[in-house]
Chains A and B, each alone.
Chain A
Amino acid sequence: MADKNRDSEKAIIVEGLVKNFEVVEKKQGIIGAFSSLISPNKKIVKAIKGINFSIDRGELIGFIGPNGAGKTTTLKILSGLIYPTSGFTQVAGFNPWDRKPEFLKEISLVMGQKNQLWWDLPAIETFELNRVIYELSKSAYKKSLNELVSLLEVGKLLNTQVRRLSLGQRMRLELVAALLHRPKVLFFDEPTIGLDLVAQQRMREFIAEYNRRYKATIILTSHNMGDLVDLAKRVIVIDKGRLLFDGEFSELVDNFAKEKIIKVFFSKGIDIKSLETIGKVKKLDFPNVVLSVARTTAAVAAAELLQNFPVGDLTIEEEPIEEIIRKVFRSGKVIKGRKNTK
């Protein structure tokens, strides 16, 4: 067991974490059902294959990876819901699996599609129940509730039966319920899923504000790159249960954004073939053309274009973040970020 004092500045420590799920394959038909009862055909799904990372108090981390990478599984282990096959985990100084009340009062797991609100009652009833469950004093509860209600603008929704609310309204109330006890460590699993653009933006602002205001440690998973660009300075990338990258977001971009995008508007007809000598033509919608060129030669390429072609307008842009992340996933290679080299 790690020494608590040594790691007191660490909110989360994960060492050699492994999680295997055992699945029994179902055979078809009645005979199949019987035979799988007698000799179950067990299969092991290796969801997490030994990952290491640690997170300081107050950090906000983006946790990304393609579908099935193991993000949700990791968060479930960190919040004490599922039993790790092996490895060491420590959250807020506790072993999550013990699920001590003191630990549970420090954390919260918010899943985009999971609800804790009592469906048939107004949200305020769930909040009241959480107040006693988390043993909050009346004044701490009032303060916390008022702050969350005004931050999330849900004052008018408190007394409506939850089943009558829209998804976005419900999600905001779910957030209030999850944060009433002021957790110090927060796990967000796709918090913006299903929300409209305005609501997504609001959610991001809220998460950033919560992180700042309460110095909370936050891990956030998302397939929405907008969430990450706005929020996370540091990202951890996993795929197929392995850690691919752990470091500054900008470092990841430097590593993988080997190209720049030049968008050109031509004022006259040109010979497309000769464009190929300058860069890769990514999109052709004459008179608009999108070229991708090596990062190092972007300026030269732009100059060449301006000199030799009838250019009406020209911009140089970074590759879209989605594209970069796709490359990271596709490469499947472990990249040394600052964090995993140490």
Chain B
Amino acid sequence: MTSKYLSVFKISFQQEFAYRLNFVMWRVRNVMQFFLVFFLWDTVFSDPNRVVFGYDRNKILTYVFGILLLRALVLSARAVDVAGEISRGDLTNYLLKPINYFRYWFTRDVSSKALNLGFAIIEASVLFLLLRPPFFIQTNFPILFGFLLSVILAILLFFSILFLVNMIAFWAPSMGWSAQFLVIVIVVEFLSGAIFPIDILPNAIQGILSYLPFPYLLYFPLQIYLGKLTGAAIVKSILIAGAWSAVLLFSVNSVWKAGLKHYAAEGR
């Protein structure tokens, strides 16, 4: 049983290497994004003593570095290809086999995460030597445990959001890409904390966001790691993320069942 998905992991890894250039471009994009955010904040904090929205230069640097690593773990995913597989009819290949499609893609996501995390660590080390931001190592065990839990939930959340968006292709085969762009590139980037920490926003907006799944992808896990949340707040954030994961994973399952009835295995 596990050996099935171990093999999927291996072949997925090989596949990434077949597309070395793509992968390198993707990493370059990530580093560029890092620089974009970094220099944006760097100009805001040109005076090292200035404090904006409760952040000074060092704090924001730590945040941006944390995001670089966390992105690789949470937002690297191969399941972006699902919409294409549905609309091209390639889904047929999996439906004919005794394999669980979700586990298959989750495994491929995990292999992508492993590869990306490896590269992100190397990139972060180089950038670290160049920029010398203050480094923060969390040593409190309960907090680390909370962080781990929140990252696992973030991974599940992103997986289900990605799947839900991709499954639009069952009903609107040509919409797959635009839906993906809207939700994954725009909404997730802005509301997850990838570009700015959520707590620079007005309190009212923060309040609303904290009941949406998006900030639980990057912002909350990182806040937990950085020790910005206290015990009760950590528990609350994990509970909300957990509730969202349950709701979304359940939706994925029912949308999938409905989608399959609609599936026509087109493209011959």
Q: Which residues of A contact B140 (CB under 8 A)?
A: none
Assess whether A135 is in contact with B98, with CB atoms less than 8 Å apart. yes
Chain A CB within 8 A of B260 CB: yes
Chain B contact residues: over half helix, strand or loop, or mixed? helix
Number of residue pairs A-B, CB distance < 8 angstroms: 67
B96–A79 contact, CB under 8 A? yes
Output the least CB separation between B151 and chain A (Å): 29
Partner of A134, one of B95, B97, B263: B97
Interface centre among B8, B263, B265 (most CB of A within 10 A): B265
A111 at the binding interface (Cβ < 8 Å): yes
Among B13-21, B115-123, B182-190, the stretch that binds chain A is B13-21
Q: Is B223 engaged at the interface, CB distance under 8 Å to the other chain?
A: no
Q: Does B201 contact A (CB under 8 A)?
A: no
Q: How many residues on chain A are close to B (CB under 8 Å)?
A: 32
Q: Which A80-105 residues have a C-beta within 8 angstroms of B? A: 80-83, 99, 101, 104-105
| Contacting pair B264 A21 (CB below 8 A) | yes
**Does any Cβ of A come within 8 Å of B44's Cβ?**
no
In the bound complex, do residue A83 and residue B260 qualify as a contact, i.e. CB atoms below 8 Å apart? yes
| Given A82-B264, A83-B260, A129-B11: A120 and B18 interface contact (C-beta under 8 Å) | yes
Alpha-carbon distance A185/B184, docked complex (angstroms): 42
- Does A108 lie at the interface of the complex (its beta carbon under 8 Å from any beta carbon of B)? yes
Known: A104-B97, A133-B98. A76 touches B265 (CB 8 A): yes
| A229 is an interface residue with CB less than 8 A from chain B | no
What residues on A are CB-neighbors of B263 within 8 Å? 81-83
Task: Contact check, B8 vs A129: say whether CB atoms are below 8 A apart.
Answer: yes
Q: Is A147 an interface residue (CB 8 A)?
A: no
| Cα distance, A320 to B184, chains bound together (Å) | 59
Q: Select from chain A the residue with minimum beta-carbon distance to B100.
A: A101
Task: Tell whether A116 is near chain B: CB-to-CB under 8 Å.
Answer: yes
Contact of A113 among B18, B96, B268 (CB under 8 A): B268
- Interchain CB contact (< 8 A) of A133 among B19, B92, B99, B260: B99
A118 at the interface (CB under 8 A from B): yes
Across the interface, do A72 and B96 meet the contact criterion of CB distance under 8 Å? Answer: no
Which A148-190 residues have a C-beta within 8 angstroms of B? 189
B149-177 contact mask (Cβ, 8 Å, vs A): 1 or 0: 00000000000000000000000000000
Query: For residue A108, which residue of chain B has the nearest CB?
Result: B96
Chain B residue at minimal CB-CB distance from A99: B95
Give the most central of B3, B92, B261: most A CB within 10 Å.
B92
Q: Mark A111-140, 1 if CB is under 8 A from B, else 0.
A: 111101010110001001110111100000
- Give per-residue flags for B235-268: 1 if the beta carbon is below 8 A from chain A beta carbons, else 0: 0000000000000000000000000110111011
A109 at interface (Cβ–Cβ under 8 A)? yes
Interface size range of chain B in the complex: 20 to 34
Contact of B261 among A83, A116, A135 (CB under 8 A): A83
Query: With A82-B263, A113-B268, A120-B18 known to touch, is A133 a contact of B97 (CB < 8 Å)?
Result: yes
Confirm or deny: B29 has a beta carbon within 8 angstroms of a beta carbon on chain A: no
A132–B4 contact, CB under 8 A? Answer: yes
Contact B15 A120 (CB under 8 A): yes
Q: Is the CB of B7 within 8 A of A129?
A: yes
The answer, yes or no, to whether B93 is at the interface (CB within 8 Å) is yes
> Are the CB atoms of B268 and A101 closer together than 8 Å?
no
Distance of A109 Cα from B268 Cα, bound (Å): 12
- What residue in chain A is nearest B18 (Cβ atoms)? A120
Specify which chain B residues have a CB less than 8 angstroms from the CB of A120 in the assembled complex. 15, 18-19
CA distance A118 to B13 in the complex (A): 13
Question: With the chains together, A99 CA to B93 CA distance in Å?
Answer: 13
Which residues between 15 and 57 of chain B lie within 8 Å of chain A, taking CB atoms? 15, 18-19
Given A109-B96, A120-B19, A134-B97, check contact A114 B11 (CB 8 Å).
no
**Measured between C-beta atoms, what is the minimum distance from B163 to chain A in Å?**
19
Give the residue among B3, B19, B97 with the most A Cβ atoms within 10 A.
B97
What are 30 contact pairs spanning A and B, CB under 8 A?
A: A79-B96, A80-B96, A81-B92, A81-B95, A83-B263, A99-B95, A101-B98, A104-B96, A105-B98, A108-B96, A112-B268, A114-B89, A114-B92, A118-B11, A120-B19, A121-B11, A125-B11, A128-B11, A129-B7, A129-B8, A130-B97, A132-B4, A132-B6, A133-B4, A133-B97, A133-B98, A133-B99, A134-B97, A135-B4, A189-B268
Chain A interfacial positions (CB closer than 8 Å to B): 21, 72, 76, 79-83, 99, 101, 104-105, 107-109, 111-114, 116, 118, 120-121, 125, 128-130, 132-135, 189
Chain B interfacial positions (CB closer than 8 Å to A): 3-4, 6-8, 11, 14-15, 18-19, 89, 92-93, 95-99, 260-261, 263-265, 267-268
Not counting A82-B264, A104-B98, A112-B268, a sample of 15 additional A-B residue pairs whose C-beta atoms are within 8 angstroms of each other reads A79-B96, A83-B261, A108-B96, A109-B92, A114-B92, A114-B267, A118-B15, A129-B7, A129-B11, A130-B97, A132-B6, A133-B4, A133-B98, A134-B98, A135-B4
